[in-house]
Structure 1
Amino acid sequence: MILFYLVLPIVIFAIIRFLVTLFNYFTQPYLQNYPIISSETVSVLIPARNEESNIWSLLTDLQQQTYGSIEVIVYNDSSTDATEQVVEEFVRVDNRFRLINGNALPDGWLGKNHACHQLALQANGNYLLFLDADVRVEKSFVGQALAYMQHKKLHLLSFFPYQVLGSFGEAITVPVMQWILLSLLPLKLVLWSRRRSLSAANGQMMMFKAETYRKHRFHEIYRSNPVEDILIAREMKRLRYRISTLLGTPGDIRCRMYASGSDAIEGFSKNVCEFFGGNKNVMFSFAAITTLGPFLVLFFMPFPLVFTYFFSVIMARLFIADLSKQNVFKAVILFPYQQISFLQMVIRWEKNRKRGTLVWKGRKI
């Protein structure tokens, strides 16, 4: 009987996460089409370090945007490949494009945060759209994002892009991000609620109202933090600004984040704890519950609760895969492998914490 009451919270937790997933599924947190209220300049700002394999595709996407009132500025952050030469090709043929070659990274700054800060200082637009160099956007994306921000009166709009999975290693690692996010956070409440705990943002795409950004210089505030995106979202909520975070689809914004599963584990390990409010105890507890939970429920719970638990877990996986526009059957089949990948991310995070450094794109951060 004691074991029953000890394991019962695991079943309840699975049910709650399933209900959160259902909320996300029925509220459909995607970009909606609205007419543009007023034509305003959007500065598209791209920090780039050794991105020669990605930057050409993104700049081509931006050159073909149906919304023409844009400027595109790329910050070349001491690249050792042909990033600079690729960008210069666009600068020569399109006067909307500019290139900034960065200098040595100042003490106390992380590379991307410094690049974003420098880009914002050079931007002239009414809106600042920060994009990672590895994303792809459809022709109407900038205009639709601007219209959405105007209609919703937002000061920040962020996206979790649709993830292109090119290998088995990516398939068992990258979806972990959506699994945590969409089963713990009712995404629409990022906009609807003022609670700072209900915040989310993704540095791959963050679009600010320029007046607000210039007033606070958010990347300067979090200059040394590798999870600046989430912290900026929380700070903006504290300041009572309206923000929204959406899911990308193949028809608006997409990305292949990592080239392999090992890269994904290394990349996610730097911010996995922030998915749990920066509380390592919550992260470790979540990892333990989601890993050991199925065995404890199976061995110590009566059949109705066993059925309820596994129904909640499996259906949550199916709905999250569908929300993320991924194959729902693979989501169930790969569930055990993804759980192992999540544990590897948590273990890597703890090792990095003890070591005090994390190497990313050739730099210690």
Structure 2
Amino acid sequence: MTGPTRGVRRARAGRVLVRAGAGVAVASLGLTLDNLRRLRAPDPGATATPEPLAVLLPVRDEVDAVASCLVAVRAAADRWPGPVRVLVLDDGSTDGTRAVLDRLAATDPRLEVLAGEPTPPGWLGKPWACHQLARAAGAGSDAGTGLPDGVLVFVDADVRLAPHALVATVALLRATGLDLVCPYPRQEVGGVGERLVQPLLQWSWMSTLPLGLAETSPRPSLAAANGQLLVVDARAYARAGGHEAVRGDVLEDIGLLRAVKRSGGRGVVAEGSAVATCRMYDGWPEVRAGYRKSLWAAFGSPAGAGAVTALFALAYVVPPVAALGGSRAGLVGYAAGVASRALVARRTGGRVADALAHPVSVVAFGALTADSVVARRRGVLRWKGRPVEVPA
């Protein structure tokens, strides 16, 4: 084979690759537009029928966040028309979190503070903490019938609920006939690292998951959830086996939705920027550590992680690189990726202008995924002082 012929074939293969990537980006933009039309969101002006409600917070070393979280929770609980309990489980905190909780409980009889039990074999920390909370609320597979007809609301300590959050979200759950709803909080970001990575949370499921099908299909692959704010019918939770069914899952929120689906229920992620905000991480070191603990499990296997990373690179990195060289197909692909990201940002309260850096965000995502997979293989994954994988 002559040199010029080899070069022509490489150029042709490169053009095919660019067009394929641009095609994927355009198709993803189409799905984003369809999902924006179908996307459910709690109505801030909705009203809810009185029923038992339990707000459950698992906390571990959250001394800087838990007080403001609970202030917001109590304001939302004030608007709930029925009986409400707020249960907080201190999961072995060593930073003064328990003292803050005891001080707050002394001023509000609705706030119940629980001391977490040691994590038993076969369980990860957060599923075990959530299981204890649900059991204390009278729900779950082994808790009897203390809360047979009510609703469980799981909230992370870095979430800030709006005053209407509980009423609006439970109203959505009941009006749709769903068993589980995860209103995705508006993600607050600070530095460059957060601005690059955090917007991918909402964009990823908005651009890849057909929400209409995900809401009705029992397929495990059609599930997206967010444990930052997770609202579930108590009976459906018990039928699914509660957090005991996902006791070894790093991504216990997605696992719980899949368990609900397996037991005949329905659930979906929703747009929750009007009912909650969340500042997950503060700075790049926290971003890296947070994603390192979980990205290895997000795609089922290292091969799955590699396949998703490669597909994202094909759709959102290859076309813009080609566009720099004058490729029209590459420019179309870049524009489609930016448009998809910008539309999601506008709907979810994000920074629309940051969508211009979408290719850089995807590269950062690929690096974080690789870092997570490598760390898991080396057995060094830990979060807040504990391993994040159940020993084999």
Work out whether the TM-score is over 0.5: yes
Matches within 5 A, 1:1-365: 1-32=12-43, 35-36=46-47, 38-65=49-76, 66-68=79-81, 69-124=83-138, 125=147, 126-249=150-273, 251-273=274-296, 275-276=298-299, 279-290=304-315, 292-294=317-319, 297-298=322-323, 303=328, 305-332=329-356, 334-365=357-388
| Structure number with larger C-alpha Rg | 2
Aligned residues: 362
What one-letter code is carried by the residue in structure 2 that aligns with 1:54? Answer: A
Post-superposition CA distance 1:21-74 (Å, at most 9, x none): 212333343223575453111100100000111110111112222115310000
User: What is the RMSD computed on CA atoms of the aligned residues?
Assistant: 2.3
2:197 is paired with a residue of what secondary structure?
coil
TM-aligned CA deviation for residue 9 of structure 1: 2.0
The whole-number CA distance in structure 2 between the counterparts of 1:263 and 1:300 is: 36
Contact 1:170 1:260 in 2 (8 A): yes
Distance, in Å, in 2 between the alignment partners of 1:302 and 1:255 is: 39
Residue identity over aligned pairs, in percent, reads: 30
SS in 2 for 1:93: coil
Asked if the contact 2:236/2:260 (under 8 Å) is kept, the reply is no
Cα deviations by residue, 1:256-300 (Å, 9 ceiling, x for unpaired): 001112211221233335554552242232244246412664489
Letter aligned with residue 112 of structure 1: K
Name the SS for the 2:26 alignment partner: helix
CA 1:107–1:275 in structure 2 vs 1: closer, same or farther (change >3 Å)? closer
Structure 1: any 5+ residue segments left out of the alignment?
Answer: none
What is the alpha-carbon distance in structure 2 between the residues aligned to residue 41 and residue 10 of structure 1?
Answer: 50
Gaps of 5+ in 2: 1-11, 139-146
CA 169–37 in structure 1, closer or farther in 2 if over 3 Å, else same:
closer
Distance in 1 (alpha carbons) for counterparts of 2:128 and 2:351: 38
Q: 1:152 to 1:239 in 2, by over 3 A?
A: same
Distance 1:5 1:290, change over 3 A: closer
Give the C-alpha shift of residue 148 in structure 1. Answer: 1.2
> 1:290 and 1:267, CA in 2 relative to 1: closer, same or farther beyond 3 A?
farther
Distance of 2:310 and 2:362 partners within structure 1 = 14
Give how far 1:127 is off: 1.0
